[in-house]
Structure 1
Amino acid sequence: MCGIVGYVGDASRTLDVLLGGLSNLEYRGYDSAGVAVGGDELHVEKRAGELDALEARLSDADVAFEGPVGVGHTRWSTHGPPTDANAHPHTDETGRVAVVHNGIVENYRALRDELEADGVTFGSETDTEVVPHLIARELRRGLDPETAIREAITRLEGSYALVVAVAGVDALFAARRDPPLVLGIGDGEYFVASDVPAFLEHTRDVVYLDDDEFVRLDHGGWTVTGTDGRRVEKDVRTVSWEAEQTGKSGYEHYMLKEIHEQPRSLRQCLSGRVDELGGRVVVDELDGLGTPASVQFVACGTSYHAALYGARLLRAGGIPATAHYAHEYATAPAPVTGEDLVIGLTQSGETADTLRALRKGAGRGAETLALTNVVGSTVTRECDHVIYLRAGPELGVAATKTFTSQLVGVNLLAAHLADGGGGRQRDLVSALRGLPDQVQAILDGSAASAVIEEFADSETFFFLGRGFDYPVALEGALKFKEITYEHAEGFAAGELKHGPLALVTADTPVFAVVTGDDEAARKTIGNVKEVEARDAPVVVVTDGVAEASRYADHVLKVPATDGRLAPLLANVQLQLVAYHMAAGLDRSIDKPRHLAKSVTVE
């Protein structure tokens, strides 16, 4: 995995379209890149490292990379390290077939042994390379290209988004099982990619593929068929956002741009969903959803922190709720009944672990609901209900605006469920309406960049919180480690004295989230005193309601608001902390090492 782009159209444009598409997909994270372009024969070039290494090699190539079809790929290593040989596309021994692939071929070892026994010589360590060799074998048996590809696919176990080019055939073939693929329908030209930004500058008309669908793209158009070969009718949708929305708009990094977009993304999430005059929440997508007997959240990474927050929020409203790592739930799902609700939080709508967990819940009879940012994504087509985050495109690998929109989304859900769908919570509605302006105030006045300068030489960072602040402390630590590459840990503040306190020294900055003035806040202040007594520098992120600032070396302030929403504001300060530390360390902020934006393998 990670980024796929394919093109059928003007032979003189193919290479530029592929390289432009791969550039637009760089945000997903990758460690090598390659292209295959051709017509009667295929020309392949691939390189480990950044895209500019591939572009430099192409500029020195002694053949013209022109042709009516082409495929490109940015790889995030799974089988084999990032080398030229392991980069995609992969070909058969004659170079007749070129394949790019996202996913994992789980039975590749058995297939490789079989092919090697037939005399095939492999040139890489990847699982993907078995695919072009399987296709080539079927071609040698006399099958036409489409049938040969279909036959090869039947041998694959695991997950795949495949795009295949065959020399002498002015067409591309693609197939999907689990990882996403989307078609772009242009004027006399056609695209296939793992994500819409790959071709958004060329067309906004898209077709989302479902599992076990097969595509042929040629100059005559596009067709989608099922495993039985029968044509599948697909809707063409128009993406609502423009290509320029995926640019940096003058910001140094996508992440910083997206942090500053949060007032707008929150307004979009709330638009039409809160009636301040009536003091009620109105979420049309939840019509028909009653109050469940219990709720199970499933999610990974940043989304799991939103799930922890959401489960606590529902429990506070009297609804039994738990949060589960999706990859754990998928292998050992909790018991459910037809009266229970399984909620998947996935920013991309394509997270493999979360999709599998939701399928487990649905298979046991539970209703399912998704909170996601991507219209048309797999999760939206499989769940019974969907709440769209409306955050707009997020290209930084480290999630920011989608997380705050998730926190708002679960508040909308909780308000809807609190009284059987009426959602009458005047105080919450008023606080929600004020959130965008309060986030803007933080962005305009944050002292995070100045505070973090003092800790540039520190190697370990702790993040503490209780109650609703605890998931935000975890998220603050995750964001910090993702983009700074420094060691950071988040803890429930009360756990500090049960072990982690042994690690606290004068060189361990501690970030404590303290909002409100309830029992949780007061006890967190007690934990702050514990680390202060060990000479640890303390940064308190607080609304000032409690007296936490008295015990802090530095204070990052947030506006006072409803206690359920204050952690969201604290999170914005922690986003800025992570960003400014990473910028000071000159890290690759938008493309952190080893990480991908959308994790589409389990």
Structure 2
Amino acid sequence: MCGIVGYIGNKKASGILLNGLSALEYRGYDSAGIALVNEQIEVIKVKGKVADLVSQCLSIGSELNGTIGIGHTRWATHGKPSKENAHPHSTKKFAIVHNGIIENYKEIDEFLIKNGYKKTSATDTESILLLIDYLSQNINTLEALKKAISILKGSFAIALIHLGEEKIYAAKKESPLLIGIKDNELFLASDLSAFLEHTKQFIVLEENDIAVLEKNGQFEIYNNGVKVQRTIKSVDWNLQTAQKGGFKHFMLKEISEEDEALANTIYAHIFNDKINMDIDEELLKKTDKITIVACGTSYYAGLTSKYFFEELLSIPVNVEIASEFRYLKPIFTQNSIFIAISQSGETADTKESLNLAKSFGVKTISIVNVQESTIARLSDYVLYTLAGPEISVASTKAFVCQLAMLYLFALKIAQLKGIEIKPYLNELMSLPSILKTEFSRLNTEVEKIAKKYANVKNFMYLGRGLSYPLALEGALKLKEISYIHAEGYPAGELKHGPIALIDENTPTFVIAPNFEPLYSKTISNANEVKARNGKIILLSDKFSNIADDFVQVPNTSYFFSAFVNIVPLQLFAYHIANILGNDVDQPRNLAKSVTVE
């Protein structure tokens, strides 16, 4: 998830671009840069935050006179954070910025190498640039861009400038891109916050749109080669509202982004139906035990994945809480693998557990969301989730991305062992579309139920199989941001003590995807609650008349049900906290990254 900004008009572009990038920095802060059209294309970029880029530009001063330019603030996907991998990328003729994932960049690179091109970065973005540069030898820029896009597989928002042309070219597929409109000036950005101080009129580019922005304030938009018209819209937002995309809180915005985050994470590791991971394959083939260690939400992602690992690979998987594991004397086999999961890559207990595993000589893998973080540097191998920045303290999209990465890792081992993975891979790749389609409906339905139960003081969450870790995570989310007492239990354990807590004032969230025998067993446990006057909120793809309230989730196979069932659990916690008037994004006593024991 990165931020794109562009300007074309009669003012100096550099200040406008830098201000726009500052507003977009919540989307990425590994590196930043701008490119301006002058007598040549001038590129200024740095590893670090936008403030570092501002300092660099101030040192150059009045020489930055271009009135056409593009800029970018990066959250690293392909290639580690560095000046070389920072955007914009440029040739003598072109400069480009890009947000998204290009799945077939390796094929493109092979083609470019055969035609005399050599990359200077590790990014898929430079692959797009060089492809356009190659194609433009015989056709104009617009046609080269169109042809390049027809070759690209994946998601992208692109802004492109060409030396000698007073134009900005833009293209969009599955990544947001907007045009801001003001008199004889035009702006381009990933979201409104980048140009809101200049104009509140804008156009949202639609799927497969290509736009050409000109210096006189004119623009044209094409879709599949046909010139089209898009509606000019207007908003009355302030900057903070714009950064939240119109959502009241970052947490709700980040839940809505789970489809995009999931797609980025999945597609970055799949190429021609094969899973690409920079891990010793001989190590993976010999693996006979996996230990997963994490804290909080990351621990529940690990616990959920255990069911998939053991079913698919018949390898024992231990999932441990990091704050406990670090004081144990763990038992590893000769071919054990240790996996540390941490959104920030800085979680203190997880880091110390990793060090403990390393002291036993075990090969270590980390699953983190922040490049160059401490846990990433300490690990033998790193698997990066591409959730983008999470601003809200309560983790949401990180969970689905961590779970997806764990599934991809299991499928990688299965592939090496000769196990057929195509059906699993197909279903995994279908999930982003399902989440995108279902979010609005689930949000509306869950909000209605939350209003009914907002004043309750205690909740129970029940689930069986891989729905049990979801019960734990659902209860955790409610505790974190609503400050309501909630407990998650395996549904079968209800009668072994927790049922004593059930009464008419303690609702029970029952997570029961329709898979026998788990469904009928879980419904039987719900009946035990009902017999004690307890209220049932049923989360399932199959209705039961035992439910006082019912949230219907999309139908999936058993092992992929967690990806869709987690969304209403997150939404329920969010809406309860919002109704109670709590500070949803910064709940009391909590920090985003726990860097102390």
Q: Same fold (TM over 0.5)?
A: yes
How far residue 520 of structure 1 moved from its aligned partner, in angstroms, is 2.1
How far residue 422 of structure 1 moved from its aligned partner, in angstroms, is 5.5
Alignment of 1:43-442 (within 5 A): 185-186=52-53, 188=55, 247-274=243-270, 280-288=273-281, 289-291=283-285, 292-317=287-312, 318-420=314-416, 424-442=420-438
Contact map agreement 2:25 2:73 (CA 8 A) in 1: no
**Is the alpha carbon distance of 1:393 and 1:423 closer, same or farther for their aligned partners in structure 2, counting shifts above 3 Å?**
farther
Secondary structure (helix, strand or coil) at the match of 1:556 reads strand
| CA–CA distance in structure 1, aligned partners of residues 386 and 488 of structure 2 | 28
Identity of aligned residues (%): 36
Q: 2:594 matched to 1:599? A: yes
| CA–CA distance in structure 2, aligned partners of residues 342 and 449 of structure 1 | 40
1:61-108 deviations in Å (ceiling 9; x for gaps): xxxxxxxxxxxxxxxxxxxxxxxxxxxxxxxxxxxxxxxxxxxxxxxx
| CA–CA distance in structure 2, aligned partners of residues 205 and 514 of structure 1 | 37
**Is the alpha carbon distance of 1:354 and 1:523 closer, same or farther for their aligned partners in structure 2, counting shifts above 3 Å?**
same
Contact map agreement 2:537 2:550 (CA 8 A) in 1: yes
The one-letter code of the counterpart of 1:564 is: F
RMSD: 3.4
Partner of 2:461: 463
Secondary structure (helix, strand or coil) at the match of 1:559 reads coil
1:474 corresponds to which of 469, 472, 475: 472
How far residue 338 of structure 1 moved from its aligned partner, in angstroms, is 3.7
The one-letter code of the counterpart of 2:472 is: L
| CA–CA distance in structure 2, aligned partners of residues 380 and 183 of structure 1 | 23
| CA–CA distance in structure 2, aligned partners of residues 266 and 205 of structure 1 | 15
| CA–CA distance in structure 2, aligned partners of residues 449 and 510 of structure 1 | 17
The one-letter code of the counterpart of 2:477 is: K
How far residue 182 of structure 1 moved from its aligned partner, in angstroms, is 9.0
| CA–CA distance in structure 2, aligned partners of residues 283 and 237 of structure 1 | 15
How far residue 184 of structure 1 moved from its aligned partner, in angstroms, is 6.9
How far residue 385 of structure 1 moved from its aligned partner, in angstroms, is 1.6
| CA–CA distance in structure 2, aligned partners of residues 379 and 237 of structure 1 | 22
How far residue 24 of structure 1 moved from its aligned partner, in angstroms, is 8.5
The one-letter code of the counterpart of 2:275 is: V
| CA–CA distance in structure 2, aligned partners of residues 237 and 331 of structure 1 | 40
1:260-283 deviations in Å (ceiling 9; x for gaps): 0011111101114346xx7x4413
1:476-525 deviations in Å (ceiling 9; x for gaps): 00011111011111111111111110000011111011113222222111
Contact map agreement 2:75 2:388 (CA 8 A) in 1: no
Higher relative contact order (CA 8 A, sep 6+): 1
TM-score scaled by length of structure 2: 0.60
Secondary structure (helix, strand or coil) at the match of 2:388 reads coil
Contact map agreement 2:289 2:333 (CA 8 A) in 1: no
Secondary structure (helix, strand or coil) at the match of 1:550 reads coil
The one-letter code of the counterpart of 1:290 is: L
2:488 corresponds to which of 490, 497, 522: 490
How far residue 535 of structure 1 moved from its aligned partner, in angstroms, is 1.2
How far residue 550 of structure 1 moved from its aligned partner, in angstroms, is 2.4
Alignment of 1:547-558 (within 5 A): 549-558=544-553
How far residue 362 of structure 1 moved from its aligned partner, in angstroms, is 1.2
Contact map agreement 1:186 1:202 (CA 8 A) in 2: no
Partner of 1:499: 497
The one-letter code of the counterpart of 1:269 is: T
1:349-372 deviations in Å (ceiling 9; x for gaps): 111111110111111011111111
Contact map agreement 1:415 1:424 (CA 8 A) in 2: no
| CA–CA distance in structure 1, aligned partners of residues 571 and 464 of structure 2 | 21
**Is the alpha carbon distance of 1:516 and 1:435 closer, same or farther for their aligned partners in structure 2, counting shifts above 3 Å?**
same
The one-letter code of the counterpart of 1:438 is: I
| CA–CA distance in structure 1, aligned partners of residues 473 and 422 of structure 2 | 29
Unpaired segments ≥5 residues, structure 1: 1-16, 26-180, 191-200, 210-235
Q: 2:449 matched to 1:451? A: yes
Contact map agreement 1:281 1:422 (CA 8 A) in 2: no
